[in-house]
């Protein structure tokens, strides 16, 4: 119901009373009843006031000492009930009555931070900042997280545990945003603060997520020992509370570490546990990601048939899910199996399909990776000129990408260039000898 609809209901004598109500510390509605015409003529434009003791009483409505807002020592002043028109509605349990909820504001202006709706707003701010992060709206995520930290500071006096919980979530958003922007030092600072606040608030899930990201930063910077410590701590947070997603994510990351350390049996066990957990949770895309890592491990062991079967399965699964980026990525990996097995033409077919898919997706790293592998396939087939053209086509893209995610592609491209130079030199020597 909006104000005009209320005006019409009053004219038709369907509503004669409007309740302007705030939420008190016990979750009850407190406020004032107005004759509907008076509400429309006066309150809509000017709001109304109420006594501050409404936020300083117990369940029996007795005044309680110790509040900064109001007490016998400081006096019981007034605050303003600023009605939220979006909450205006007729109430079925009281015929002829409409209800509108109100925010509590200082008479001089500004919100009363300890009021329940302001505490809730701080919590909603943490949720909104995470939503912006999930949508890759980094500037909005940082802005809302900053506002949320300010709101947490305002409510800390009356709801310290809530304030710590709000801060923990906001710090996590700021840390992950900084990490995604390629600012590892800033990210680590925020994430450490998130861990401290989350532990103070008893939020093991948030602490686990922050520790995982700290581990990922250390992993990306090449500090495997530090990464393993953070990952292990993250797992200790996730397992006891049944955080399946958090547990599976950490198990996968630990598997990657063990794989890089050539502890393939340990890595395989971690991958398999993560994969099974993701399948139980119905996380098909996450399961495909872990199975891809396991397939690459099998390929490194020379178990090409097992790797091929896994990769073919997840290519089909991601196509069914409509996950085009993942499908192209796994086609790229399947082409590498073809190359290992000495089938460069088969690899070229898969890579052509991967390139077609990648062309419709804004993922420079994937596009460059596919181009490098297409050049490798052409090189394996003995077509040096075509391989050189393909390598040249992705050189600028690889060189201009400073993101850490592109490091492996840049290394592959450098290796490809060396192979091309070597092959070209050998062919030149052969030509001269004949």
- CATH code at 99? 3.10.20.70
Does a structural domain hold residue 19?
yes
Measured from the Cβ of residue 197, the count of other Cβ atoms closer than 10 Å reads 24
Percent of the chain's residues with pLDDT above 70:
82
Closest-CA residue to 111 (of 40, 61, 55): 55
Q: Measured in whole angstroms, how far is the alpha carbon of residue 388 from the centre of its chain?
A: 40
Does a structural domain hold residue 341?
yes
State residue 51 phi and psi, 5-degree precision. Answer: -80, 140
Domain boundary among 112, 144, 163: 112
Q: What is d(CA 154, CA 241) in angstroms, rounded to the nearest whole number?
A: 30
State yes or no: pLDDT of 51 exceeds 90: no
> SS3 for 309?
helix
Measured from the Cβ of residue 282, the count of other Cβ atoms closer than 10 Å reads 8
State yes or no: pLDDT of 147 exceeds 70: yes
> SS3 for 98?
strand
Percent of the chain's residues with pLDDT above 90:
47
pLDDT at 431: 46
Does a structural domain hold residue 209?
no
pLDDT tens digits along 260-294 = 999 999 999 999 999 999 999 999 999 999 999 99
Provide the residue range defining the domain that includes 344.
283-348+362-385
Phi-psi sector, 130: left (phi>0), alpha (psi -120 to 50), beta: alpha
Give, in order, the Cα–Cα distances in Å from 82 to each of 16, 48, 88, 103.
21, 7, 12, 5
Q: What is d(CA 171, CA 245) in angstroms, rounded to the nearest whole number?
A: 20
Does a structural domain hold residue 144?
no
State yes or no: pLDDT of 434 exceeds 50: no
Find out whether 24 and 112 touch, Cβ atoms under 8 Å. no
Does a structural domain hold residue 305?
yes
Q: What is the DSSP letter of 110?
A: S
Does a structural domain hold residue 248?
no
Does a structural domain hold residue 122?
no
H/E segment holding residue 296: helix 284-300
Q: What is d(CA 348, CA 355) in angstroms, rounded to the nearest whole number?
A: 10
Domain boundary among 85, 112, 139: 112
Domain boundary among 62, 85, 112: 112
How many structural domains does the chain have?
Answer: 2
CATH classification at residue 318: 1.25.40.10
pLDDT at 404: 42
State yes or no: pLDDT of 250 exceeds 90: yes
- Give the list of residues 6+ apart from residue 17 with CB closer than 8 angstroms, or none: 33, 34, 35, 36, 94, 96, 97, 98
State yes or no: pLDDT of 34 exceeds 90: yes
pLDDT at 59: 79
Q: Which residue has the higher pLDDT, 66 or 196?
A: 196
Tokens of 98: 């409409």
State residue 89 phi and psi, 5-degree precision. Answer: -160, 155
Three-state SS annotation for 38-97: HHHHHHHHHCEEEEHHHHCECCCCCECCCCCCCECCCECCEEEEEECHHHCEECCCCCCE
Q: What is the DSSP letter of 16?
A: -
Give, in order, the Cα–Cα distances in Å from 172 to each of 124, 135, 203.
15, 16, 12
pLDDT at 160: 84
Find out whether 99 and 21 touch, Cβ atoms under 8 Å. yes
Q: What is d(CA 54, CA 31) in angstroms, rounded to the nearest whole number?
A: 9
H/E segment holding residue 125: helix 116-134
Name the residue with tokens 């499908």.
327
The radius of gyration of the chain's CA atoms, rounded to the nearest angstrom, is 31
pLDDT at 408: 53
The stretch 46-55 carries a mean pLDDT of: 85
Burial level of 343, CB count in 10 A (0-12/13-18/19+)?
Answer: middle
User: 18 - beta bridge partners?
Assistant: 34, 98
């Amino acid at each position: 119901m909006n104000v005009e609809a209320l005006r019409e209901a009053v004219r038709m004598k369907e509503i004669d009373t409007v309740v302007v109500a705030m939420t008190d510390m016990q979750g009850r509605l407190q406020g004032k009843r107005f004759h509907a015409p008076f509400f429309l003529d006066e309150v809509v434009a000017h709001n109304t006031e109420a006594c501050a003791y409404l936020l300083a009483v117990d369940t029996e409505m007795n005044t309680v000492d110790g509040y900064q807002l109001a007490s016998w020592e400081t006096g019981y002043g007034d605050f303003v009930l600023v009605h939220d028109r979006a909450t205006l509605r007729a109430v079925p349990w009281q015929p002829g009555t409409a209800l509108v909820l109100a925010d509590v504001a200082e008479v001089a202006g500004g919100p009363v931070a300890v009021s329940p709706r302001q505490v809730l707003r701080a919590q909603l701010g943490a949720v909104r900042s995470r939503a912006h992060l999930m949508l890759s709206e980094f500037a909005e995520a940082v802005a809302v997280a900053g506002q949320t930290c300010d709101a947490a500071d305002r409510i800390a006096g009356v709801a310290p545990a809530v304030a710590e919980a709000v801060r923990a979530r906001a710090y996590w958003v700021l840390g992950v945003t900084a990490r995604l922007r390629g600012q590892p030092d800033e990210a680590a600072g925020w994430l450490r603060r998130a861990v401290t606040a989350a532990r103070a608030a008893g939020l093991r899930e948030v602490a686990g997520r922050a520790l995982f990201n700290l581990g990922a930063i250390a992993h990306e910077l090449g500090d495997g020992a530090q990464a393993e410590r953070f990952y292990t701590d993250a797992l200790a947070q996730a397992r006891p509370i049944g955080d399946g997603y958090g547990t599976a994510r950490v198990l996968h990351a630990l598997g990657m570490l063990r794989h890089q350390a050539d502890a393939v049996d340990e890595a395989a066990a971690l991958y398999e546990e993560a994969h099974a957990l993701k399948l139980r949770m119905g996380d098909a895309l996450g399961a495909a990601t872990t199975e891809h890592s396991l397939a690459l491990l099998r390929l490194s062991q020379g178990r090409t048939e097992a790797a091929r079967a896994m990769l073919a399965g997840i290519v089909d699964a991601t196509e069914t899910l409509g996950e085009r980026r993942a499908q192209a990525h796994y086609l790229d990996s399947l082409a590498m199996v073809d190359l290992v097995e000495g089938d460069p033409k088969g690899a070229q077919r898969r890579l052509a399909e991967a390139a077609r898919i990648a062309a419709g997706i804004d993922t420079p790293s994937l596009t460059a990776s596919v181009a490098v592998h297409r050049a490798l396939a052409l090189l394996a087939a003995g077509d040096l000129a075509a391989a050189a053209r393909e390598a040249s086509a992705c050189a600028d893209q690889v060189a201009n990408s400073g993101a850490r995610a592109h490091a492996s592609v840049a290394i592959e491209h450098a290796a490809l260039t060396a192979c091309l130079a070597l092959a070209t030199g050998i062919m030149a020597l052969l030509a001269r000898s004949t």
